Structure 1
Amino acid sequence: MTTPKLRFKEFDGDWAITSLYQLSTKIGDGIHATPKYDEKGTIPFINGNNLVNGSIVINENTKRISVEEFQKYNQTLSDETLFLSINGTIGNLAFYKNEKVLLGKSVCFINLKNDIDKKFIYLLLQSPQLTKTFNSELTGTTIKNLSLATVRNSEFYCPIEEEQTKIASFLSAVDEKISQLTQKHELLSQYKQGMMQQLFSQQIRFKADDGSEFGEWEEKELKEVAEINPKAKKLPANFIYIDLESVEKGQLLLQKNIELQDAPSRAQRLLAKGDVLFQMVRPYQQNNYYFNLSGEYVASTGYAQIRTKLDSKFIYYALHEKTFLDEVMNRCTGTSYPAINSSDLSSIEMFVPCLEEQTKIANFLSAIDQKIEVVAQQIQHAKLWKKGLLQQMFV
């Protein structure tokens, strides 16, 4: 039986084997030549990286061309067109919505027949079954390539149009939920950034519990309010190692349990609760970490270890404040991998309020971070649910 594990009850019977070649009027890719770019041009020249979650996304790095240059090329696109990235980044997808864009060679266009549900094919192209087939046919070593022949001729199972529409409608609702959560996450993140700017510029001030005003903030060098890279006691025989790949945007993603005898030479920062790790290589990424875990943890010397008797969470947020980060970047050396040394970092000045106001600021921003994290987990759960549905609703 060629039927999916999970199916709407009103449908029965086998799905038919087919291919995109049979379901489409034309499948091709963008131009292989380099067009004449024009900084004042109005037509984006797009590649696979411009295909994001079903839409064409134009950014500041997207090259542009003039209308005259655009008219040199004949692109056969329609309301039934889907885009698929096939070179470098594989598998990005977007619906064509009649935008004026010129396609590069890393974008494949699929012009579907009128009786094929476009949203169903969009979801089918994300299914584990077809993704596995495409991945098995990739060529190239450094830069992967999915051939048009593979896109056209790879076979898969497909239901009748009514069932296609039913599946597409259901899974599109899941996509909409993910989109709403993603937007909520972005708005919360923007709100946090806005509040940080106002709090650290003192446009917004907290009051003491008795309603009185707090005193003026004092300007101090980081080394005056914190100890940078405190000397470690003897490292434990076994510990969890945190390197520069372990942390992303304040989240500890990887925990590597290693023996001291096998540890890299950069494993030197023995952590204590309340320590702050500041990324010294490419600090603009802001992959810093507030450490508040139990157990034996050692960090790489790629981080500055910051230990303070003040409110350590306040210091953590202060290190992300734009003025501080701008000064960090001004003191960095190197171009591809700009880095700051601990001495230069420690001499950067910051404004510091009294301990009680520090704590109020830290608690306020932590509460926003907790909300952001809850939404991030909801997004992750929704994506995992969708992945499971794609696995079971396609053959």
Structure 2
Amino acid sequence: MINVPQLRFPEFQDAYKEHKLSELLSRYSENNKDEEYGIDDILSLSYEHGIVDRKELLEDTYSKVNHKNYIKTRFNDFIFGKSISTNYPYGLFKVNNFRDGLLSSLYFTFKTSENVSPTYLDKYFSHQNRANNFLKKLVLVGDRYITADSKYILSAKIFVPLKNEQEKVASFLTIIETKIKQFTKKEELLQQYKKGVMQKIFNQKIRFKKDDGSEFPEWQKKSIGEVFKQRIEKNAENLELLSVTMRDGVKKREDISTKNNSSENKNNYLRVYKNDIVYNSMRMWQGASGVSHYNGIVSPAYTVLKGNDENSSLFFAYYFKIQKNIHIFQRNSQGLTSDTWNLKYPQLAKIKLTCPHKDEQIKIADFLSSIDSKIEKVQNQLQLTKEFKKGLLQRMFV
């Protein structure tokens, strides 16, 4: 086995050494009979966020919890959780970089030795395949929990560098993770801002003005059928295959699915032109609609709407997404249960919405599109940083 990583800081030359985990970790279990910690100090383990307050994950009242039976954990302990999750079916290692507190006895708590950085071990086991391949030979998987022996786990071996290199690797990866958190928070704030400003715009608490500063006309009620006609054009099977998502609207199928649809018979597929609105009649009440930026075709399960020259399709793509209109679409969908609710074009066309003049529609759509552009930029930065981190986790460890 090669005992140096593919990617390494140039000032380090020493070979990585193989260690049993027992040389790096020591198991301890300290009960809370002295009630050093109370119910509010109960912590839990999340594969995404590490050690967190339990109440952030579970909205229980702790009415049946006896905190005296919990075990203590200290800051920088190394923790093994025996719960089964989709990403980590053999359990999960995480450092407690949160605070002192209590954990369920389902967890193993370890102290780290002086020759290892707990944060380095945390990064080592945060690589999903590495952690799963390491643990699957050491535990037994039940229906909900894992049967594990701490001594057996500690007998397993890993390669680690000297501590000064561990700390530099851990510090560098922590910087990357901080950047990911910053991008994630920035996206959340932009999404919140967009949601809030959309509500005010469509409730007419915010009004746009003409370029000369004068007021636009008052909003008027229109039926959707006055704005959009159903487009039913077929036999265009050589065009780009499109699909509709609830989050991102109309997307190229190849961008959201790896399934090869080249052999499908597409004679009955519906043609879509740029600026058409496409919606899923079974999921319109959940927001499955969007304006198309492409020429293409969609499954006949979708409905295609062709707008007229007096209105902005992009405006209505946003308008259809607000919660008030989602509820209207739900009320007008036909079917006995939510699994069968269906909003066909004849029902949709009868729905009346209060709409602004086309010029104001365009201003609103341009404004919301500018926010979406900022969100997309942050999402791309976030995705690239996550991919960069993934590559580092693969190449900076042995």
Q: Match of 1:202?
A: 204
- Work out whether residues 43 and 66 of structure 1, in 8 Å CA contact, stay in contact via their aligned partners in 2: no
CA distance in 2, matches of 1:156, 1:232: 61
2:3 alignment counterpart: 2
The offset of 1:273, in angstroms, is 0.8
Which secondary structure state, in structure 2, belongs to the residue aligned with residue 90 of structure 1?
A: coil
Match of 1:214 among 198, 216, 231: 216
The alpha carbon displacement at 1:63 in A equals: 4.3
Q: What's the secondary structure of 1:175's corresponding residue? A: helix
Aligned position for 1:362: 365
Question: 8 Å contact 1:225–1:308 — kept in the other structure?
Answer: yes
TM-score by length of 1: 0.80
Q: Residues of 2 paired with 1:279 and 1:70: CA distance?
A: 50
Partner of 1:315: 316
8 A Cα contact 2:227 2:307, kept in partner: yes
* CA offset digits 1:145-173 (Å, max 9, x no partner): 76635865553211222221111111100
Maintained 8 Å contact 1:241/1:298: yes
Equivalent residue number for residue 32 of structure 1: none
* 1:52 and 2:48 matched: yes
- The one-letter amino acid paired with 1:321 is I
Match status 1:305 vs 2:304: yes
Kindly state the Cα deviation for residue 382 of structure 1 after the two structures are TM-superposed: 0.7
Matched, 1:112 2:111: yes
In the TM superposition, 1:1-395 aligns within 5 A as: 1-26=2-27, 50-54=46-50, 56=52, 62-66=58-62, 69-71=65-67, 73-79=69-75, 80-82=77-79, 84=81, 86-91=83-88, 95-96=95-96, 97-98=98-99, 103=104, 108-115=107-114, 116-127=116-127, 130-131=130-131, 133-134=133-134, 148=148, 152=154, 154-228=156-230, 230-236=231-237, 238-243=238-243, 248-250=247-249, 252=251, 253-254=255-256, 258-259=261-262, 262-263=264-265, 268-283=269-284, 285-294=286-295, 297-309=296-308, 310-332=311-333, 333=335, 337=339, 339-342=341-344, 343-395=346-398
CA distance in 2 between partners of 1:346 and 1:118 (Å): 61
Distance 2:347 2:61 in 1: 44
Whether contact under 8 Å (2:232, 2:304) holds in the other structure is: no
CA distance, structure 1, for counterparts of residue 20 and residue 336 of structure 2? 51
Q: Structure 2 CA distance, aligned partners of 1:334 and 1:60?
A: 36
**Shift of the alpha carbon at 1:271?**
0.9
Quote the offset at 1:3 in angstroms. 1.2
CA distance in 2 between partners of 1:275 and 1:139 (Å): 54
Deviation at 1:381, TM superposition (A): 0.8
Deviation at 1:119, TM superposition (A): 1.6
The residue identity in structure 2 corresponding to 1:242 is L
Partner of 2:348: helix, strand, or coil? helix
Gaps of 5+ in 2: 30-38
Question: Secondary structure of the residue that 2:327 maps to in structure 1?
Answer: helix
Tell me by how many angstroms 1:74 deviates. Answer: 2.7
How far, CA to CA, are the matches of 2:330 and 2:386 in structure 1? 36
8 A Cα contact 2:279 2:288, kept in partner: yes
**Distance in 1 (alpha carbons) for counterparts of 2:307 and 2:87:** 46
Query: Which amino acid is 2:269 matched to?
Result: Q
Shift of 1:301: 3.9
What SS does the corresponding residue of 1:163 show, helix, strand or coil? Answer: helix
In structure 1, runs of 5+ residues without a counterpart are 29-40
CA separation of 1:189/1:63 partners in 2, compared to 1, >3 Å: closer, same or farther? closer
Cα distance in structure 2, aligned partners of 1:362 and 1:284: 22
- Give the count of matched residue pairs: 371
How many angstroms apart in 2 are the aligned matches of 1:227 and 1:153? 69
Give the fraction of aligned pairs with identical amino acids, expressed as a percent: 27
Please, what is the CA RMSD of the aligned residues? 3.5
> How much does 1:52 deviate?
2.4
Q: Say whether the 8 Å CA contact 2:41–2:53 is kept in structure 1.
A: no
**What displacement does 1:4 show?**
1.2
**C-alpha spacing 1:302/1:126, structure 2 compared with 1 (3 Å):** farther
